[in-house]
Chains A and B, each alone.
Chain A
């Protein structure tokens, strides 16, 4: 076989056969790349054509895609959206805290903790079962009606409480799945070193469990970001509420599109981060 190139550090000289093979692979990757481009273009063109050729397109364009309304509604919707972001940023750590605590309580084995455990089970059952929007109504209108002293009456705060209750239940189950997925032999090894239940959880089980559940947790957070819009139903001036006000005065729905775009801009980075983390853990497991 003819020597074509200089040997590398390990003494490998690329053979003529390999040169030919790499040429074929390159050609193939160019071909599959062009097929992908053409088929993507085709799909996009068909979709755009399908929507714009529909009989009601003119009406839809006027009501949902009015540039003038877009510009006019944008500042208000954006200022409302900042409240969404605030609700999300406060609710997220609270959700983590509630979720983790509930998951840990459910893992307690001693009979002394039975009431706590039962409470945790009841909490997850109830708040996973009740639609988030109902929880928001109940908390938003029910809690202040109790007339308890020190009970917050600020609508956004009540929204945060409602979202935390609802999402805490989901996240507790995610954490519990993560804790259960750590192999029992890890617990045996930790206990054999003399660590108690708490120490085992803290130093051995949780670090492994949390790493495993990061992608599903982020998924729940993407969902939480959107659901901050549900708080609109009890009245604070967040993005959806602002858009509603605009739409109600002009009978044009473009402000909703503004809200949708803002939510998309917020969730996309988190969604990409989720993808990245999932791919990374996949790679690690492959090795």
Chain B
């Protein structure tokens, strides 16, 4: 649509069993922008990411990726997903494959890269994120933090236009959160466009270019992090931030 946005979400509606989870979401993501979605559980953050990845069919509205309407029924969802990387809360690595095979699966089987080249690239990525010695290990031999870093590399290996990260630190031991956040920080440094949902407000404030607050399926407030955290406009946002702060204090 607009030539300077990579992803445009327009009037997106989604409901499950008659319960509206997203009610007319509008969102724009520019290239290299990092957008943080925050909000209580059930506010629709994850559903929004799932819709962007076409894991859900939308009830109304449209999503444009790189100028093309990906919610058009004639669009092949696989072709769209090829250009996005997704990282899940529970890692979802394939337990029957080594780290290297996990990472090279999509480049080899979806993008047609040769084994040698795909492995070369995977090893470079593993090297870059300090996991080179784990290439031949199976996921169950890794710590949660290492597994999640591998999952990020797996998503990254297909050189996506856009990365979607859904609560990627929520299943981790607090001591392991930092190493995963370090990887995301590095991704931002390399100019990757990302949409992430998170409960880590401190990290959100540091990494986001834009923070979006979802409440009950509505995108209630959207602001740069400094403004969002110091001077929120909406009463619901203030209430949410206060409850998060209270939880931290305990």
Contacts and interface: CB of A to CB of B under 8 A. Distances in A.
Given A10-B15, A12-B13, A18 B73 contact: no
Contacts of A15: 11, 60-61
Given A12-B20, A25-B73, A17 B62 contact: yes
B39 to A, nearest CB: 17
B116 interface: no
Contact of A10 (B11, B23, B74): B23
Given A1-B11, A24-B74, A25-B73, A10 B60 contact: no
Nearest to B16: A287
Contacts of B72: 21
A28 B59 CA distance: 17
A14 B74 contact: no
Interface in B17-37: 18-20, 23-24
B73 A24 contact: yes
A1 B72 CA distance: 17
**A1, A10, A25 — which one has the most chain B CB atoms within 10 A of its CB?**
A10
A11 interface: yes
Given A1-B11, A24-B73, A28-B73, A14 B23 contact: no
Interface residues of A, number: 13
A12 B74 CA distance: 24
A12 B73 contact: no
Contacts of B11: 1, 15
By DSSP majority rule, is chain B's interface helix, strand, loop, or mixed?
Answer: strand
Given A21-B73, A24-B73, A24-B74, A12 B61 contact: no
Interface string B3-19: 00000000101010011
Interface in A1-21: 1, 9-12, 14-15, 17-18, 21
Interface string B209-237: 00000000000000000000000000000
Interface in A68-91: none
B60 A18 contact: yes
Nearest to A17: B62
B: contact size bracket? 10 to 19
Contact of B20 (A10, A14, A18, A28): A10
A219 to B, nearest CB: 26
Contacts of A17: 60-62
Contacts of A10: 15, 19-20, 23
A12 B62 contact: no
Contacts of B62: 17
A18 to B, nearest CB: 4
A9 B15 CA distance: 12
A18 B59 contact: yes
Interface string B179-217: 000000000000000000000000000000000000000
B164 to A, nearest CB: 21
Interface in A121-143: none
A11 to B, nearest CB: 7
A25 B74 CA distance: 9
A25 B59 CA distance: 12
A21 B72 CA distance: 7
Contacts of B60: 12, 14-15, 17-18
A277 B15 CA distance: 27
Contacts of B13: 12
A18 B11 CA distance: 11
A15 B23 CA distance: 13
Nearest to A18: B60
Nearest to A25: B73
Nearest to B72: A21
A24 B18 CA distance: 23
Interface in B34-71: 59-62, 71
A1 to B, nearest CB: 7
Nearest to A21: B73
A17 B59 CA distance: 10
Given A10-B15, A15-B11, A21-B71, 12 more contacts: A10-B20, A10-B23, A11-B23, A12-B13, A12-B20, A12-B24, A15-B60, A17-B60, A18-B59, A18-B60, A21-B73, A24-B74
A-B interface, 10 closest residue pairs, ranked by CB to CB distance from nearest: A10-B20, A18-B60, A24-B73, A15-B60, A12-B13, A25-B73, A21-B73, A10-B23, A17-B62, A14-B60
25 contacts: A9-B18, A10-B15, A10-B20, A10-B23, A11-B23, A12-B13, A12-B15, A12-B20, A12-B23, A12-B24, A12-B59, A12-B60, A14-B60, A15-B60, A15-B61, A17-B60, A17-B61, A17-B62, A18-B59, A18-B60, A18-B61, A21-B71, A21-B73, A24-B73, A25-B73
